[in-house]
Structure 1
Amino acid sequence: MSLPDLNLLITLDVLLAEGSVARAARRLRLSPSAMSRALARLRDTTGDPLLVRAGRGLVPTPRAIELREQVSQLVHDGVAVLRPVDKLDLAQLARTFTIRTREGFVENFGAELITRLCADAPGVRLRFVPKPDKDSTGLRDGSIDLETGVVGKSTGPEVRTQALFRDRFVGVVRAGHALAEGALTPERYAAGEHIGIAREGAAKGPVDDALMPLGLERAIAVTVAGFSPALALARGSELVATVAERHTGLLRGGMHSFALPFSMPEFTVSMLWHPRLDADPAHRWLRGHVRAVCGALR
């Protein structure tokens, strides 16, 4: 029995990731006609159409969806097998790592991380991208090398995690604000005009959940998408921002920060990566520096 052309695995991986013959062709630097012929060969080999027309686009068949994760892992494992296993030469390492983070991480940890990495490996570059949700697709398809954030129910079960630090929410107002003086009670806090931070479509968050048993509710005057705009608004107004303490340390400079006058649980910020990168020497080196920076900056 003749073996199938294993090069088709790479083609199939890209086709399933892109969901488009044209985009897959550009990614593999092939002509659209060559990619169409490759798709035809894949259909003959697998006995399944894999991608079928739906309006102007293509959608995967159930068999293609079933194969997607398995094929991606096979391709990455094959690349790992063929990669030299010599000791990592940091002086010669030329690689760009894409890190997906919540707002505040770059401002507080980015400069120190870049300094440490460049001291070891001048050829390494970092690409920080925003993290609007906890979807693990980027880790699975390799477009994201590392993430930071709170591990949640939507985090992929195969994703590796390691705790970086504990954080908590604090209140923040401009210098000279009324809440900067006198004893702070839950009632005084709730009576202020607040900035809401909407995450993943949720109208309310853990602060509102903590106030509810006390019979209190915040008056949300404005809603923003993250910590940075919340602090910018609080700095120039009478509004109250409630943000993660360690994520916003440098962003809160010159403002008055205070512990919340009611019980709220701390939360753990972790780094997350796909298991295929567990043994990758360069990735292990990167993770070590991320741990060191987050542990050093208190």
Structure 2
Amino acid sequence: MTSPDFNLLIALEALLDTGSVAGAARRLGLSASAMSRTLQRLRDTTGDPLLVRSGRGLVPTPRALALRARVGGLVQEVGQMLRPAAPLDLSTVRQRFTVLCSDGFVENFGAALLARVAAEAPGIHLHFRPKGQRSNAPLREGAADLEIGVVGATTAPDFHARALFRDRFVAVVRAGHPLDKAGLTPTEYAAERHVVDDRHAPAQDPVDGALSALGLARTIVATVGGFAPALALVRDAGLVATVPEHHTRHLRQGLSVIPLPVALPDITVSMLWPPRLDADPLHCWLRGVVHAVCAG
């Protein structure tokens, strides 16, 4: 069975509304002969003459009268679907956005982000969700709307990204720890008891890579699932954590920050989103808000 030609609906509406082949042709910018051929196609498709001659004009058949009550609404609805979306009215939006991010992002930017959203779109609900494994599957499958993180080898190449801020790794210890001093050496740093984030495999961690080049390896005694528990163990168990400096600004209050004794490049924290959301007006607004809050 061949698919119907939906262009015939527009011609049918014009024919039924004008009751004239010539009138319908003028409305659609066609010649009278082209409109006559279209009417014949409509008759073949519907199995009904639709318009029949009576005196000098054409009159609709009962089938045509039944169709006329519906075809106008169908054409109007299709036309609305194919027009650009109406301007976004943030005051009326009611929607939930899921943002994949670290606890450090929520600590540093969550309050300011919620305040900005409440001022512009009070019906928006933000769900901050831990990223878990380093995979973009939640974004691709629609379980999340935005991800905050570092673009890396595991990032889907078709995803869009926009940089939010730059950061660097630092060592964090509690006050009075043996490493809380100037002139820390790589050997001293590696030999201390470390807590690490289990979302970063040692083979992929830039700190371990830099130490390995020197023939050293960290003494790792605990792994955790985020910056907050890592810094809690720094504070309460005297361990050493290596974390992004800017990202953990609030989490490490009261702790000592020490420059790493190995050279590492800065990292760029970005927001990522799938191609299907790139042109969505509401998602564009959300990305703009996130960028403005992080820049501020």
State the TM-score, normalizing by the size of structure 1: 0.69
Structure-to-structure mapping, 1:256-275, within 5 angstroms: 256-275=256-275
Residue 176 of structure 1: how far off its partner (Å): 2.0
Residue 260 of structure 1: how far off its partner (Å): 0.6
Partner of 1:36: none
2:164 is paired with a residue whose SS is: strand
Matched, 1:87 2:91: no
One-letter amino acid of the structure 1 residue matched with residue 110 of structure 2:
G
Q: Report if aligned partners of 1:167, 1:268 keep a CA contact under 8 Å in 2.
A: yes
Aligned length: 222
Report the aligned-residue RMSD: 2.3
2:114 is paired with a residue whose SS is: helix
Q: 1:245 to 1:81 in 2, by over 3 A?
A: farther
Q: Unaligned regions of 5+ residues in structure 1, if any? A: 5-77
Q: Report if aligned partners of 2:113, 2:290 keep a CA contact under 8 Å in 1.
A: yes
CA distance in 2, matches of 1:82, 1:184: 64
Q: Report if aligned partners of 1:198, 1:204 keep a CA contact under 8 Å in 2.
A: no
One-letter amino acid of the structure 1 residue matched with residue 284 of structure 2:
R
Partner of 2:37: none
Larger radius of gyration: 2
Structure-to-structure mapping, 1:162-241, within 5 angstroms: 162-199=162-199, 202=202, 205-241=205-241
Q: Unaligned regions of 5+ residues in structure 2, if any? A: 5-77
1:179 is paired with a residue whose SS is: coil
Partner of 1:159: 159
Among the aligned pairs, what percent are the same residue? 54
Q: 1:116 to 1:202 in 2, by over 3 A?
A: same
Matched, 1:253 2:253: yes
CA distance in 2, matches of 1:283, 1:83: 19
Matched, 1:111 2:108: no
CA distance in 2, matches of 1:172, 1:155: 28
Residue 293 of structure 1: how far off its partner (Å): 1.3
Q: 1:235 to 1:287 in 2, by over 3 A?
A: same
Residue 135 of structure 1: how far off its partner (Å): 2.1
CA distance in 2, matches of 1:264, 1:151: 16
CA distance in 2, matches of 1:140, 1:282: 18
State the TM-score, normalizing by the size of structure 2: 0.69
Residue 281 of structure 1: how far off its partner (Å): 1.3
Residue 81 of structure 1: how far off its partner (Å): 5.2
CA distance in 2, matches of 1:203, 1:157: 22
Q: 1:188 to 1:279 in 2, by over 3 A?
A: same
